[in-house]
A and B are shown apart, each in its own frame.
Chain A
Amino acid sequence: MELYRLTLASILSRKTFAIFAAMLLALPFVLPYMTPWESKPSLLQPARAQMAWTMLWISAIGWLLFQGATIGDRWASNGILEYFKTLGVSRWRQMAQLWLSCFTVFGGMVLITFAISTFTAMPGDPVEARHWVVTNLQYVLLFLLVVAPLLALSIGLGTRFNGAAAYAVTIGLALYGLFGIGYLEVFLADNDNPLLNLVYLLSPHYHLSDLTSRLVFKLGSVPWTELGRIAAYLGGIALLLTGLSYQLYQEGK
């Protein structure tokens, strides 16, 4: 676990995570008061949960994926990974340790988000409260299924290419899966082109993991069979990306 400790120490000493962590802690409590809540105070609590989750997504895309890409690039360029290879640490183990070091810090952010969203915005009604907790747990699961393999991909790409390129590819994939598909869908509404429809079907539908509207509009938790389908789909993409990341991963440049 030396590689894990080394990487974690490097992340902690760089302190960029602190900017995102501070925003994650502060904005869910500050920004709701900037909305026109005066005539509808019940807007405040869902707005808190919504901001916490939005900030977590921003931290994942803005910090986590960037961290993975630069760590992969830096360690592969400095020969650190080759050194660990000579010590007999396999590629799988190296990748897992790099991934875990980034996720140790990010896991804290996920916990903060879960706590803010669950405990500072819980509805008073017991039935609604149960739905609220379950929805938050479901959201954590789906969020991790999207973000965790993207981090592995950014590390894998970082070790092979330049850090900026690795970051650009993963952030592009994440943004496409979250937002771009929506635009493609609008375009396809009056277009029967089979190629574009195939692209649509093969795209990573990361937007399925976005349960924010279920929280904000108190829609209740996702039915379990449906959650199973979404989790299987996102889990499949996760396995695919993990295998791909391993193929991309290399110890030295």
Chain B
Amino acid sequence: MTLRSLSPFLLMGAGLALAAAGSASLSSHDGLRHSQNAFALQGSAYGKLLARLAETTIDRVWHLGVEQIVPHYMSGESHGAAHAAKVDPSLATTPPRDESPLQAGKHWIQARVVAQHTRTNEKSLSKAHLATVYRDIERMLLRSFKLDPTHYGAYDSYHLFLTVSEFGGTPIANEQAKRVALAAMNAARNETEDPEPWLTSAAAGMNLFLMDSAPYTVKNEPIPLDMLKKYRNDIGYALQRFTEIQAESERLGIWQNLSMERQMEIAERALFGKRTFAQFDALIARAEQRLNPGNPEAEVAGAPEERKEEQ
């Protein structure tokens, strides 16, 4: 046997030895573990894009599967209109007669899309089928949250899905909702340029507070002062960071890149967050007065206002 004919085997042997040594040294400190985020998709700019694009898919599955109606973005009808039309078909929106041929053509195509997705089967989905749809939606919501944990829509819709009793509400789902809220708060932590993640963080903090305080409110017991103070600090910090970064973004001219609708949407959400946050001072004052009845200055406040769920 010549060296030449042996060379591939020598190469393979050396390769095996080297790979084994490298693998042993890597696995000694968990170095072989997969990042579970190939090409850094999750959390990157493209992750943000895909999380937003996924909204339409989730919306379609939700309306076709759970609500079993044609998705609003296809029909162009609001929630009320769709239900009204079901009761009385004459209430269904009909295109105006004096529209341009171009608009008429677009309406014609839209009507075909609606027909394509309109349910004609009188029987609704079976329980087992519905459970599969719920599971699919949960997976999609989780994927979209992982792609962009700072996105308000991705976080809050997943949180609602996990906590609304019809779909989640189980102890396991509630634990997941807490983990998701903590992940959303963590994701915003290093954000210094975009104010929106801090609003998501504030919303997650509020959700966590509502989940943590639920056992007390259910039993009609007072919420511990420590818990109130902790959440006032966390949520207050997030809202403060939002205000600071938003002002900075406006100063640098970044804020002006957003459309008027987006700016208004964010401003409204910020206002909502600040209003719910304002309850904390009253709650804390009441708790302090309870612990220290001699202090006449402490204000007496009502029970925490339940969070209005946005659709």
> CB within 8 Å of B: which residues of A?
31-32, 34-44, 46-47, 50-51, 53-54, 57, 90, 92, 178-179, 181-182, 185-186, 201, 205, 207-208, 210, 212-213, 215-217, 226, 229-244, 246-247
When distances are taken between beta carbons in the complex, the residues of chain A under 8 Å from B95 are none
Judge whether A235 and B18 touch: CB under 8 Å: yes
Is the CB of B73 closer than 8 A to any CB of chain A?
no
Judge whether B257 and A233 touch: CB under 8 Å: no
When distances are taken between beta carbons in the complex, the residues of chain A under 8 Å from B14 are 236, 239
Can you name the residue of chain B whose Cβ is closest to the Cβ of A58? B39
Main secondary structure of the interface of B (DSSP, over half): helix
Q: Which of B45-53, B113-121, B127-135, B231-239 contacts A (4 or more CB under 8 A)?
A: B45-53
When distances are taken between beta carbons in the complex, the residues of chain A under 8 Å from B39 are 50, 53-54, 57, 210, 212-213
Select one of B33, B52, B194 contacting A40, CB under 8 A: B194
Is the CB of B27 closer than 8 A to any CB of chain A?
yes
Select one of B16, B32, B44, B45 contacting A240, CB under 8 A: B16
> In the complex where A42-B193, A201-B23, A246-B8 touch, is A236 in contact with B15 (Cβ < 8 A)?
yes
How far is B201's CA from A72's CA once the two chains are assembled, in angstroms? 56
Judge whether A236 and B49 touch: CB under 8 Å: no
**Nearest Cβ on chain B to A166's Cβ, whole angstroms:** 18
**Nearest Cβ on chain A to B251's Cβ, whole angstroms:** 14
Judge whether A208 and B32 touch: CB under 8 Å: yes
Is the CB of B218 closer than 8 A to any CB of chain A?
no
19 A–B pairs (Cβ distance < 8 Å), ordered by A: A31-B46, A47-B44, A53-B39, A178-B38, A185-B33, A207-B35, A213-B40, A226-B31, A229-B22, A232-B19, A232-B22, A233-B22, A236-B15, A236-B19, A236-B21, A237-B19, A240-B12, A240-B16, A240-B19
Is the CB of B102 closer than 8 A to any CB of chain A?
no
Known: A39-B195, A57-B39, A243-B11. 7 other contacts (CB 8 A): A34-B49, A44-B45, A212-B40, A230-B31, A233-B25, A241-B15, A243-B7
Judge whether B35 and A47 touch: CB under 8 Å: no
Judge whether B38 and A239 touch: CB under 8 Å: no
How far is B4's CA from A51's CA once the two chains are assembled, in angstroms? 43
When distances are taken between beta carbons in the complex, the residues of chain B under 8 Å from A208 are 26, 31-32
Select one of B8, B16, B17, B257 contacting A39, CB under 8 A: B257
Judge whether A232 and B35 touch: CB under 8 Å: no
> CB within 8 Å of A: which residues of B?
4, 7-12, 14-23, 25-27, 31-40, 43-46, 48-49, 52, 193-196, 249, 254-255, 257-258
When distances are taken between beta carbons in the complex, the residues of chain B under 8 Å from A244 are 8, 12
Can you name the residue of chain B whose Cβ is closest to the Cβ of A42? B193
Main secondary structure of the interface of A (DSSP, over half): helix
When distances are taken between beta carbons in the complex, the residues of chain B under 8 Å from A41 are 193, 254, 257
Judge whether B49 and A36 touch: CB under 8 Å: yes
How far is B44's CA from A217's CA once the two chains are assembled, in angstroms? 8
Can you name the residue of chain B whose Cβ is closest to the Cβ of A226? B31
**Nearest Cβ on chain B to A149's Cβ, whole angstroms:** 9
> 4 closest A-B pairs (Cβ-Cβ)?
A233-B22, A236-B19, A239-B15, A236-B18
How far is B34's CA from A52's CA once the two chains are assembled, in angstroms? 22
> In the complex where A38-B258, A50-B40, A233-B18 touch, is A182 in contact with B25 (Cβ < 8 A)?
no
Can you name the residue of chain A whose Cβ is closest to the Cβ of B52? A36
When distances are taken between beta carbons in the complex, the residues of chain B under 8 Å from A36 are 45, 48-49, 52
How far is B22's CA from A57's CA once the two chains are assembled, in angstroms? 24
Judge whether B35 and A210 touch: CB under 8 Å: yes
When distances are taken between beta carbons in the complex, the residues of chain A under 8 Å from B44 are 43, 46-47, 50, 216
